[in-house]
Structure 1
Amino acid sequence: MSLPTRTRHRALALAALSLTLAACGSDAMSGMDHGVSPAAATSPAGTAAGGHQGHRMPGADAAGTPASDAPAAGTPAGTAPGLSAERNGYRLTGATGTLTAGAPAEYRFAVTGPDGKPVTAFLTDQTKRMHFYAIRSDLTGFQHLHPEMAADGTWTAPLAALTAGTWRLYASFVPDSGAGRGTGLVLSRTVTVPGEGAAAAAELPAPTGTATVDGYTVTVAGTPVAGKAGELEVTVSKDGKPATDLQPYLETFAHLTAFHAGDQAFAHLHPEAKAEAGGAGGPTLAFHAELPAAGDWRLFLQFQTGGQLHTVGLTLRAG
């Protein structure tokens, strides 16, 4: 008996993705504009969906583990994608290690190449040359930005107000020069935001398959297994009715980023289909999911309707 058309299409998409990862030696995985703050579900205009080179986990082997990243302090070697400031000769350099609490801030940084010089040539990934993320150590305050680069290779990320605490800042990009040309990388650094409440950590919400933002309800179905490719199905509804008015955003209808509880390891979950310009999407979206570690992951889904970007966060457990 033949499979339904929808199921056949998904099976073919997953098979194609698996072949691509194998052909690239699984070096092909990595990685919103403003996101979820501790006090609100969304922030100003920001980022969206999609996923190819720069949004794949950098240098992952078959188990999704980085090949040579120097992990953040206290993180076991080889288990934390995106937690190193340097990889394959490329280094993320920040102008400051301290930012002010409670006020917008401009964070300036650069990426230097294997020759030690600032990289100024980047390939476009999901319509942008740089995707920049910020999240507090307790996985609150998510922001996704697309900074601008000056001629000398200095990038400026306009961060919304940060709460006191320790924050990790991620740069996701694809260099168009040097030995790593064409390979997606995610590098990160931490900054301190002094102030009252810096030591207070918010409790991670319990794993759940449903969350609501701006009147939209998002449901995620699927149980990821650490280190194995799988599929997550995201359904968006509004007022109890299927939402079919999702607009193209960064080439797809939704953007999904995940951070691992405890060490803030980074993962980008790839949508299985691109969005056609001028088209509408929803209510159901399929994502290729390959989380490198077991445990709780905080997911941030971004989608756009009526010209407004919505960001919703929920916790998902990988076995």
Structure 2
Amino acid sequence: MSFASRFTSRRRALAAAGTAVVLAATPAACGSSKDSGPSMSGMDHGSKPSASASAAGADRDHGSMPGMDHGGMGDGLADVKDGYELTSTTTALPAGKKAAYRFRITGPDGKPVTRFAVDQTKRMHFYAIRSDLTGFQHLHPTMGDDGTWTADLAALKPGKWRMYASFIPDNGPGKGEDLVLSRTVTAPGDARRTPLPAAATSADADGYTVTVKGDLTAGTTHPMTVGVSKGGKPVTDLQPYLETYAHLTAFHEGDQAFAHLHPRTEVKGDTGGPDLAFRAMLPKSGNWRLFLQFRTGGTLHTAALTLRVG
């Protein structure tokens, strides 16, 4: 996959601080083993993946260039921003089985938005995460002619979930603005909370070891490096995924504030690695749960990272 030429520089850079970073394998939720659809990621921290679910209609146009800051997107906790609103009649979804979440984005005129710019090959990035930061899913939903999006979720564990829509309007007063909006839903049942894993600087994910290095301080931007190895040897066959060598998303413990960062390492060919450079800045103190998605041999892997930000 070639590296895109168009920059998107409006989404706030992901921030990270603290000396302890914990990485635990979690199931991928954006792409199956052959990147044909999202797989389920509804298990506890550090568990193995379960069954996959399809995400049809993935838009494969090329859009923004990875590695740039995306300021102004906010923390993703509101359903309305700058006149744009995430609307849905769904407040509950069944637990333990696949389910579809349907929603619209309405503009300042109150009408459904149907034109969206391409960002990292997609017109809509959709995320679902449980209140204890388990069950991460990253999907690319499909849109109907009336502006209704359908996100086909893998099975949800009982509990409260937050659904995030990340998009860029392609017309209207918000044209070119990078937005993240969210709403919550409940999956009924015994919603036992899973604590975040203990801190560590590295951990294994699907046989790969992911290591984070960086002298990070809360509220300021610092370089951060993520290295990938296997069997003690550096991994140099990372494949481009959404026009990057890795996709990184973070959620703040407690309020589930959203942050997003792509590696600044330029995609120059079909393979890359072992080190991925980031510029990281997380504005809030406390624990952040990061989800790093990377692909090798056509298989998408997801590593979960817990960062303590002072």
Same fold, TM exceeding 0.5?
Answer: yes
Q: Please tell me whether residue 119 in structure 1 is matched to residue 124 in structure 2.
A: no
RMSD, matched Cα: 2.4
- Equivalent residue for 1:101? 95
- Equivalent residue for 2:181? 187
Give the SS at the match of 1:117: coil
Q: Percent identity?
A: 59
CA contact 2:209–2:230 (8 Å) conserved in 1: yes
Alignment partners' CA distance in 2, 1:233 and 1:50: 19
- Equivalent residue for 1:29? 12
- Residue correspondence of structure 1 range 47-62 to structure 2 within 5 A: 51=66, 56=70, 58-59=72-73
Alignment partners' CA distance in 1, 2:42 and 2:94: 16
Q: Please tell me whether residue 92 in structure 1 is matched to residue 86 in structure 2.
A: yes
Alignment partners' CA distance in 1, 2:67 and 2:305: 23
For normalisation by structure 1, the TM-score amounts to 0.79
**Which residue identity does 2:125 align to in structure 1?**
H
Structure 1 residue 271 displacement after superposition: 1.1
Alignment partners' CA distance in 1, 2:259 and 2:65: 13
Structure 1 residue 180 displacement after superposition: 1.1
Structure 1 residue 274 displacement after superposition: 3.4
**Deviation readout 1:48-84 (Å, 9 max, x if unpaired):** x97478x83544xxxxxx4xxxxxxxxxxxxxx1100
Structure 1 residue 29 displacement after superposition: 1.8
**Which residue identity does 2:226 align to in structure 1?**
V
CA contact 2:67–2:263 (8 Å) conserved in 1: no
Alignment partners' CA distance in 2, 1:159 and 1:120: 22
- Equivalent residue for 1:308? 299
Which residues of structure 2 form unaligned runs of 5+?
1-6, 15-28, 31-37, 59-63
Give the SS at the match of 1:169: strand
Structure 1 residue 288 displacement after superposition: 1.7
CA contact 2:41–2:154 (8 Å) conserved in 1: no
CA contact 1:92–1:189 (8 Å) conserved in 2: yes
Aligned pair in 2 of structure 1 residues 36, 217: CA closer, same or farther (>3 Å)? farther
Alignment partners' CA distance in 1, 2:226 and 2:213: 6
**Deviation readout 1:2-23 (Å, 9 max, x if unpaired):** xxxxxxxxxxxxxxx9xx97xx
CA contact 2:225–2:278 (8 Å) conserved in 1: yes
CA contact 2:42–2:134 (8 Å) conserved in 1: yes
CA contact 1:52–1:126 (8 Å) conserved in 2: no
Which residues of structure 1 form unaligned runs of 5+?
1-16, 22-26, 60-65, 67-80
For normalisation by structure 2, the TM-score amounts to 0.81
| Paired residue total | 271
Alignment partners' CA distance in 2, 1:239 and 1:117: 54
Structure 1 residue 172 displacement after superposition: 0.5
1 or 2, which has the higher helix percentage? 1
CA contact 2:76–2:180 (8 Å) conserved in 1: yes
Alignment partners' CA distance in 1, 2:263 and 2:84: 27
- Residue correspondence of structure 1 range 213-228 to structure 2 within 5 A: 213-228=205-220
